[in-house]
Chain A
Amino acid sequence: MPETFDLQHADAENAVLPHAPADDTGGHVRKRWGAGFWLSALWLVVICGLSILAPYLPFIDEPGAFPDFSVETLAGPSADHPFGVNKNGDDVFSQVVNGGRTSLFIGLSVVISGFIVGGAVGVTGGFFRGRVDRVISAVLDVFLAFPALVLALALIGIVTGGDANLPVVILALSLLSVAPLARITRGATLAVAEREYVLAAHTLGAKRTRIIVKEILPNVIPPMAAFALTVIAVVIVAEGALAFLGLSVSSPAPTWGKLISEGRAELENHGHWALFPAGTMFLTILSLNYVGDVLQSRFTVREGAL
């Protein structure tokens, strides 16, 4: 679902989240996790592990380290350089790992900050309903009326004058993720708030804060956490797009988007430069989507299955 950078769009397809089985298993959750799930999860573990450990691993060059002058520039994959080297003689594998480190960091930061703000707004709207909800929904509509990537471009462009840095990129993408995340949390909250056990809690005279903390949040957070994985994928793609345009973090550790855009020049004769970062990105997005989808269908309670 999160094919392009638009978070709005991820929302559009997932707006049905609280009910409506997205597959045709007739409301029954698949019993087994399946090989695809484990493979995707394994890939994510490997990528995250490499990203976290990158500074401590001897076979990964530090960003900005001296290139290996013993090999020809643009040489293809070899034992020393599994992904080959680029035009300057930098090890592409190290670049992919270091770039992924930044990409994942951005993805994670954006999702966390977006969910803290958007989630709070969404739960408020979904739980209190009435006038509060109408105001929140109206404001969300305004924010959702922007094409997200264009706005990210404008924000970063106007604020930094084309010289983007990490905090600005994270801030811009977080800002844009708030509205879609608020909307989807609101939807999930609405569905939970109508359930019998919430009514029971009300009837027993529980305070509203207690109901939110004890009844609503435990049922809203798991599906939202699963959804967060797909949002990370959207953010990584969006950051890649910004980087591709030269409007994201650049030196000394270019992210995947930038690597692909640099390697594009040599695609015909030295494809490894662009294709290894592109392939890594593809597998990571695929895994995030897949694991996110499977977890979502696990956590989403369907009325029909009760």
Chain B
Amino acid sequence: MKFVAVRAVQLVVVLVAATFFVYSLTFLADGDEAVVDSILQIEAGSDTRRSEVEDGLNIDDPLPVRYVKWAGDALTGDFGKSYVRGRPVWDLMKEPLVRTLALVAYAQVLALVLAVPAGIVAAWRANTWIDRGVSTTAIALLAVPNYVLAIVLVFLFASTLDIFPGIVDSDLSPLDLNSYILPALSLALPQVAVYMRLLRTDMIATLQEDYIGMAKAKGLSTRSILFRHALRPSSLSLVTTVGLSTGALIGGTVIIEQIFAMPGMGTLVVRSIFQDDIFVIQAVVAVIAFAFVVINFIVDVLYAALDPRIRSA
């Protein structure tokens, strides 16, 4: 329990630092004046006054105070208003957020479903042609950027074979698995290579343990040995990496969403960057950082649950 408490404190510190950084970046990069000016420029034509905008931003307060007010509002889901689109930021963000989280989740599930059996087989048949085949494929996959993978997948499965859509609907439902398959696969395949290699290495070490020999001697089936006795002790670094790579995947969704025209957080943030819609950029990056940090926390706790030695450390 103490371990969880310590990690929870760390979580809060990291969250505050991360969101403060994102929040202040806007004002530090452009200067308060310029931020207000750009809002007034967008609002030109309406009767918004300079003082109103300044009040809304708490521009008279020092940056840390401003941040606290902003963060307090953000916790209740109030990220301010998008001046470019005249709507609350949260309204613009909530559906894309669900789509992006769904994409990351599907990609991770897909990656594990492919990687775990491949890793187990490669370890079980280490240094045979099966292992070499699987491992070589993995090394090649690692050298393919996901955007290249995505356009190749679109070319094969959407343009040529016409099995899955290469462009998704603008009101994509997070449960529309058919539309999610190509984007998720583009994100998942490089992860498959990472996970598979990791599991293979750990599994080879585990399979040399005495208790595996014992299990064999008892006459247990190969499947039972591999999946019930060897998998769990071999999966520690895999679990950590799955958590850590969530950040890579969230980053990857930005570009994959562009390719499939998926209206997610990535598409939103890129569009906002080109439109200079600063509050949306702030909010999206803060929410992504939040999601990332929380996921890492969960992974750490899970890791402790898997390995009793960590709990007391």
Contact = CB atoms under 8 A, between A and B. Distances in A.
Interface string A131-157: 000000010011001111111011111
Interface string A280-306: 011101100110000000000000000
Interface residues of B, number: 63
A121 B126 CA distance: 39
Contact of A158 (B14, B25, B144, B194): B25
Contacts of A1: 142, 194
SS of B interface (majority): helix
B139 A161 contact: no
B139 A290 contact: yes
Interface stretch (B48-56, B168-176, B247-255): B247-255
Given A150-B269, A240-B145, A260-B148, A5 B293 contact: no
B69 to A, nearest CB: 20
B198 to A, nearest CB: 7
A249 interface: no
B258 A282 contact: no
A247 interface: yes
Contacts of B272: 157
For the complex, would chain A's binding face be called helix, strand, loop or mixed by DSSP majority?
Answer: helix
A13 interface: yes
Contacts of A9: 194, 241, 244-245, 247-248
Nearest to A8: B247
A274 interface: yes
Contacts of A257: 145, 147
Interface in B235-269: 240-241, 244-245, 247-252, 254-255, 258-259, 269
Interface of A: 1-6, 8-9, 12-13, 22-24, 138, 141-142, 145-151, 153-159, 161-162, 233, 237, 240-241, 244-247, 257, 260-261, 264, 267-268, 271, 274, 278, 281-283, 285-286, 289-290
Interface of B: 10, 13-15, 17-18, 22, 25-26, 29-30, 126-127, 139-148, 151-152, 154-155, 159, 190-191, 193-194, 198, 201, 204, 240-241, 244-245, 247-252, 254-255, 258-259, 269-270, 272-274, 276, 278, 281, 285, 288-289, 292-293, 296
10 contacts: A3-B141, A12-B245, A150-B269, A244-B255, A260-B151, A264-B259, A274-B151, A286-B139, A289-B142, A289-B143
